[in-house]
Every structure is written in C-alpha cells, then in structure tokens.
Amino acid sequence: MISRRHSATTGTEPELSPTVGATNHKPLKRRIRHLALGALLALLLAGTMQRHGWAQTGSAAGTRGAPTPPGQNVNGMRIHLWAGLKSHLPGQHDYPQFLADWSKVLTEHGAVVDGALHPPSPAELSRADVVVIYKGDAGYLSDGDKAAMEAFVKRGGGLVVFHDSSCGPDPAYLAALVGGAKKHGEVNYTLEAPIEYTVVDKTNPIMKDMTDLTILDEAFFNMTWAKDPAIHVLATTKIPPTRSAGDHKGEIVPQIWTYEHTLSGGQPARSFVWMQGHNYANFTNYQIQRTLLRGIAWAAKKPVDELVNYVAPPPPHSQCDAFGESGEISVQPRGTARGRARTETAQAKAPPWNNRESIRRVPCTGGGSGIRTESLEPTARRKPRRVVEGLQDGLRLPDDGSRAGRGRKHTACNLHPRPEGTWGVGWKRFSSCGRASA
C-alpha cells in the first residue's frame, strides 16, 4: 500500500514510499543527473569560448568590444564601401562583387573597412575617413541621405566615385560634391569600347604607376562640371566612334580627376573619380588598382602611398609559424604497412633571406636516401617564402626511390602553385619526399 508521510521534526519534503518506513531516492537521483548535465554543458560552453578566444589571440577589441579580424591594422585609415545590387550583363557593373573583393583588398593593404549595399548612415559616416562609391545611379539620394553626406563632407570626409556612381537626376548637385556628374536618362555613354587613356598629369603621385594604356570599358561624355573650383584632370580619353557616341566621337573628355573644395561652413574636402568600371575585370588591372589605392588614400587625406606600401606584420605563431623559426615535419605513410605516423622536429633555423641563392638541403625521411633542395624566393609582395624545387609529375615531389618515400601527404600553410612546376610554402612545416596535397 502506497502512503505519503511527512517528517515534521526534520523538515524534509514529502516523499512517496512503497511501504511505510521505506524511502524512495528517485527525486535525489534526478537532481544529481540535472546537476551533472548542467556542469557538462558549462564545460562545453567554456571550451568553445576558449577556442574562439585563441583564434583571436593578439587582436584588439573592435566596436562594442567585439574582437577585430586577426591581422587587421586597427590603426589604418577608415574606409566605407557603398555598393549596390548588380546590373547589366555578366562581368559588368558587379557592385556586390566589388564589396566582397575590395573589403579584402583594402584590409590587406592596411585599412579598416566597413560597407553595405545601402547609403551609409550618419553613424557609419562618423567612423569613416573616406567613402568609396561603386553603385549605379548613386545620385538618387533622399533628403536624409543628402543631409548625412553633406555633413560628412563638411567635416572634411573624402569621396571616391567609380563609373556610373556619378549618375543621378540632379548632376549639378552631385558635381558640387565630386567635381563632375552626368544626368540619368541621357545618352552620355559610349557603351563598351576601347578606352585609350592619355595621362595629363604625369607628375601627380596618384598616377605614379599609370601609363597611356588602353582597356575595354565604357567612357562618359556630356558631363556637368563644377566650375569654382574646377576639377584637376589626371587622365583623358578620346571618345571612340561608337553608335551611342554620335557626334561626340573624337571629343577629349576627362576620365580620371581629383577635386578639392569646401562646402559652406565646412572644412576642405577631397574627391577622386575614375569613370571606368563598366567591366569589373578592370579593377584587377595592376596599373589601375594601384592608381585607385592611391586615389583613395589621397581623398582620405592620408599619405598617397599608405595603402600601396603597407606591409602586414607576420601572422601570430598560433596560426602559422613565423618564417625562420623551428617548424615540424610530419611524415604519414599511406596505408598501415609502415605503422604509425612519424614526427620529427627541425631545430635548425633557415638561413637569412637575401635572394634565391639561400639554399638548404634536407635529408629525406622514411628510410630514403634522397636529398630535397629548398630555396628562398621573393613573392609579389616581397615576403620570404620557402620553395620546394624540382616538383615534377603534377603534385609529386621528387621520389627518393624507396617504397617508404611514395604516397606521403604534404600539408603546409599557404601552399601556392608556382612557375616551372615548383610550389611555394609560406612557413616551415613540411613533409619530405612525397606526394603534395593542397
């Protein structure tokens, strides 16, 4: 018979018992299980937070205490990218791709980057030194957007405009901010055509790497220009004889310029304009990209070469060993015939990086008798990078002739394909005499 009893003397809670005087411990066991599960969840959460904190080791706190991306130059110029939704044919007017690509390009060149597909808010503008605009018909601004942009320019903020971002319903208003603009709805474009640049101001530091090159893009004419002050022309083009150019063919029209002005009641401000960008691939042109980087820095009132000459610090040891320090060689034979993976540590430092003549010869492991030659070779960014010479037969490293030397997996940080069948390895971790796998 099941009965409920309560101990008044001890103050214990009522409990169920199958017989009088017998105690049921199920509630106590249930509490213990709950406590154990709670402790386990707390440990898992703490481990996750610890791993995240390790990934951000060395990074400074960003806005609202959030950690910044590892390697970001927190003291760099602050750039806001204003892009838009894609229009036109594939490969043309790819504004979202610009936002994705150039947020990385500018970060790698030492900038602190923000951006969106909508006009920047007053709060976003307050954190920016310069706004880079690549968006169709950016001249269509609400009264609130105009007020925010004018306040930004009055405090000396810079504007950079690419391609048809200079288009809108009131070109005179936009020209007062960036020096020149075109009216939406008018035929003031060449369509796709060879655009032959003539550099007008060859001494200007922005044009240091720019020559009289020709690109396949689109040029604009029939512009509305600011008059007082006027623009400073950096490069022009002769309007090609396309169907849409009509009687404007042969006209010499500015396509790259700078503009310095002061809005009433404000501080001096700068604008830089590149009229091309119809074909998105032109953003990757070496001369053009370096010209744009310098134009952005100039508009932000920073040293004109600040972005171009930025050299990132070496990555933290927790993510990728610094060049020249002790690394680890991990040799993992394929299959089970050779047993466990063998690991050995290379203690010797690599020789100082001077040129390709700095060479180290490393004996092959795994019972082989071959020698692998390594050299140091500069990359496009002028950073030392280890190169494994003589890579042949696809991804196969030179075989040492032994059975143990075949089928090894090579794992390394920043593995890059290189000319003449070599592979560049950005740090000291490597395996010997085996098959490489990216």
Let me know: does 296 contact 132? Beta carbons within 8 Å.
Answer: yes
- Bridge partners of 84? none
Do 114 and 142 form a contact (C-beta atoms < 8 A)? no
Give residue 409's identity as a one-letter amino acid code. Answer: K
pLDDT at 44: 63
Tell me the C-alpha distance between 270 and 180, whole Å. 13
Instruction: Classify 118 as helix, strand or coil.
Output: coil
359-401 pLDDT tens trace? 334 444 444 444 444 433 333 444 444 433 333 333 333 334 4
- Higher pLDDT, residue 217 or 35: 217
Alpha-carbon Rg for the chain, nearest whole angstrom, is: 32
* 168-to-85, 142, 186 alpha-carbon distances in Å: 16, 12, 10
Q: Could you identify the residue written with the tokens 């991306």? A: 69
Asked if the model's pLDDT at residue 167 lies above 50, the reply is yes
Q: In this predicted model, what pLDDT tens digit does every residue of 253-264 receive, in sequence order?
A: 999 999 999 999
Q: Which of 156, 195, 335 is nearest to 274 (CA)?
A: 195
At how many degrees (to 10) do helices 171-178 and 143-154 cross? 20
Residue 235: pLDDT band (50, 70, 90) is very high
Note the pLDDT of residue 399: 37
pLDDT at 249 over 50: yes
Residues 6+ apart with CB under 8 A from 414: 320, 385, 424, 425, 426, 427
DSSP letter, residue 146: H
- The confidence score (pLDDT) of residue 94 equals 97
Average pLDDT of span 303-326:
69
The CB density around residue 334, as the number of other CB atoms within 10 Å, is 13
Q: Check pLDDT > 50 for residue 356.
A: no
Q: What pLDDT, on a 0 to 100 scale, did the predictor assign at position 312?
A: 86
Mean pLDDT on 260-287: 97
Strand partners of residue 425: 386, 415
Percent of the chain with pLDDT over 70: 60
Q: What's the CA gap between 263 and 125, in Å, rounded? A: 17
User: Residue 216's pLDDT is what?
Assistant: 97
Strands (E), 20-154: 78-83, 112-116, 130-134
pLDDT number for residue 71? 72
Domains and CATH numbers, the chain: 71-299 (3.40.50.880), 327-436 (no CATH)
Amino acid at 90: P
Helix (H) or strand (E) holding 178: helix 171-178
Identify the pLDDT of residue 68: 73
Amino acid at 230: A
Per-residue pLDDT band for 317 (boundaries 50, 70, 90) equals low
